[in-house]
Amino acid sequence: MQADFIARGRHGLHAGAVLVLAGAGAILAPRSAPGLGTALLAAAAAAAALATIPGGLPASGRRWIGSLSKPQAQKARFPGATDPPSPPFAGRPAWVVAGLLLAVGTAFWTGGNRLTLPGVFAWGASVASLLWGLSAPKEEPGSVLALPSRAALVALVALTLAGGALRLGAFATVPPEPTSDHVEKALDAARIADGARPVFCGTNGGREPLQMYLLALLSLLPGLGFGLSELTLLTAFEGTLTIPLFFLAGRELARPRGRRAAEAAGLAAAGLATVSGWHILLSRLGLRIVLLPAVALLLLTFLLRAAREGQRRDFLVSGVVLGLGLYTYQSARFLPFLAGAAALLAVRDTPAARDRLRRGLLALVLVAAACAVPLARYAVEYPGPFWARARTRVLGDASASNPASAFLERLPALLRGTAPALGALHVTGDGSWFQGTRGRPFLDPVTMSLLGAGLGLGLAGVLRKRDRAALLVPASLVLLLLPSAVAAAHPAENPCTTRASGALAPAILLAGLGLSWVVRAARARGGTAASVATSVLLLAGPALAARTELLDGWRPAYAASAHPHRAMAAEVAAFLRNGGRAGNVFVIGVPHGADDRAVAMEAGLVRRSPGIDPAQRPLATALEPAFRGADGRRRDFDPEGALLLLLSTRDEKGVDELRLLFPGAIVRRVPSAGPDRGFLRVEVPAGQAARAPAP
């Protein structure tokens, strides 16, 4: 008993020492000591590995190296990895053939960037046919995705509700203003609500369509439309529903350690995701980026299972997640590399295992390809819009004529970009005011410290459990940071919070391993009370960091840089309530000024574009088509009614022109946040605007 007590005490001391070491690195790295901080984090990972490997690293390392070609331990731990006769590749060949033929029909009926009813039917039927035909009817029974225990389920529900409260309530004031990015998504969703059925939204550099379809569905609810509130409401819900996926993936990562340890790791990952400033930011941003961590978590869950057990069903589910994930966000195009990494790490030490792996991978590829058929048809039919954003970020704006030469020219920049991308977690973060607090690392010091410990624990797990498939998670951390690095033509955009958003999933999973280890060490040393106190303390750190970063850092910086679209929309809404017509509203543009579509969106006029282009001067010429009834955007213009014109405070010449055109105009400055510290409101009373301005 005394020896056990001493062992428990040493375990707790090791955990504390690792946290101190990693914490020092996480604090020093962003404070002009990136090299020292990174070295300390690496030392903490090594210390965590040594602290959890009985007998030390050398002996365990020899055992692991010697066991790479011996699958016995892996088989004993995962019953699905036994070696019965391999099932036939396609137990139902007719269904596979039908699925392939239906996939061809899908490609035929989804041309012209439009989802048709026959095309959607063929698409769904092709995927279903392949899933049924490729499933192994005589596959040996393996582990199933079991429900969590009652205690874990209660804790998970509590964490999910807490995550929803943070994303829908506590942080509901961010972001304070819509931008042109929000407008583009709202306009695409409005087109879908009006009957468009695009496979890919090709405007503004091109965007994957799933989020816009979801927003169009959300707009069908009473009282909802297409404004910033609806955009952020949708992403907040999506972020909240992602929290259980962190539990699912964290539990799968730690499954070789036993059920209780696996559930503890899953709950730790879900808890860190609940209070993660990075994930809360993505959940409040109002853009489709928040879907990528969810897809990455699902893919990691089933790829881990497939790599460990070789079950066909896990390969098939991975194919569905991979194929449909391509419709979420551009960085999802890196997800196929995860499947390749899983194939390299999978159990393949016997002929039967290698046979299962080959057949499982082929099944994954076929199902993923069937899911991606409409998008692939679009990419072949419209390669310019499909590759536009990726091409310009990697190769530059002038790359279309000679992409090979542009790539060779950008190759050194691509290689240089890997360092800031890999350092984004703990050294320096995004430089854009739109996507977070400028320069703040993606992870707070506590989460980064736990990530350092989790990396070491993951390596120790590979050595102790002979579970090389677990290396998929740290490998995915590197792979999913690379979308930030490839912006070689725009190095100022690297690191990028949004393009690297897929890396949030493995980062939190590894940090969850570290948190569960520290909590178990606290329990071993001080009992349940100590473990609860440790959990609360370590989760309070990221929560406080998120509050400081988002409310005290991001919100004021965002408000100071974004134009006051909501305040301008409030003036438009008041004008409409007082009997004014939407066609009589004009937003006079200036270079780098407010987006008139954002003003209209927030005023409930998402399909309107009330702007006057900055190049349309003098204003008499710009206004003249409306008075002649020749402005197609203003079918409801009333020359006898009042006019409302909104201008930048920088547009002094425009104000002078309006005073000459409409001597009775009432000019008022409206103070607000933003780069211009307000805007000008010019109202021309009814009857005084009847004379059409002379050009």
**Mean pLDDT confidence for 323-350:** 95
**Mean pLDDT confidence for 356-378:** 96
For residue 588, the cross-strand partners are 612
With residues binned 3-state (H G I as helix, E B as strand, rest as coil), the percentages for the chain, rounded to 5, are 65, 5, 30
Q: Which of 595, 600, 635 is nearest to 614 (CA)?
A: 595
**Mean pLDDT confidence for 23-41:** 89
The per-residue pLDDT for 408 is 80
The per-residue pLDDT for 487 is 85
Is 446 in contact with 541 (CB distance < 8 Å)? Answer: yes
Checking 96-102 for CB contacts under 8 A at 24+ apart, the result is 96/129, 96/130, 96/133, 96/134, 96/366, 97/133, 98/129, 98/133, 99/125, 99/126, 99/127, 99/128, 99/129, 99/130, 99/133, 99/366, 99/370, 100/126, 100/130, 100/366, 101/126, 102/126, 102/129
Tell me how far apart the alpha carbons of residues 143 and 486 are, in angstroms, rounded to a whole number.
Answer: 39
Q: What is the per-residue pLDDT across 265-295, written as a single tens digit (0 to 9) for each?
A: 999 999 999 999 999 999 999 999 999 999 9
Rounded (5°) CA angle 91-94-100: 105
Tell me how far apart the alpha carbons of residues 196 and 218 are, in angstroms, rounded to a whole number.
Answer: 16
Tell me how far apart the alpha carbons of residues 455 and 460 are, in angstroms, rounded to a whole number.
Answer: 9
Q: Which residues of 525-561 are buried (b: 16+ CB within 10 A; e: fewer)?
A: bbeeebbeebbeebbebbbebbbebbeebbbebbbeb
Compare 280 and 347 and report the one with higher pLDDT: 280
The per-residue pLDDT for 394 is 84
Tell me how far apart the alpha carbons of residues 548 and 542 are, in angstroms, rounded to a whole number.
Answer: 10
Task: Enter the tokens of residue 620.
Answer: 């008499």
**Mean pLDDT confidence for 611-620:** 93
pLDDT tier for residue 81 given thresholds of 50, 70 and 90: very low
Domain ranges of the chain: 12-87+147-178+227-557, 565-684
For residue 201, the cross-strand partners are 207
For residue 667, count CB atoms less than 10 angstroms from its CB and return exposed for 0-12, middle for 13-18, buried for 19 or more: middle
The fraction of the chain above a pLDDT of 90, given in percent, is 71
Is 441 in contact with 429 (CB distance < 8 Å)? Answer: yes
Amino acid sitting at position 385: P
Compare 129 and 349 and report the one with higher pLDDT: 129
3-state secondary structure labels for all residues of 16-51: HHHHHHHHHHHHHCCCCCHHHHHHHHHHHHHHHHHH
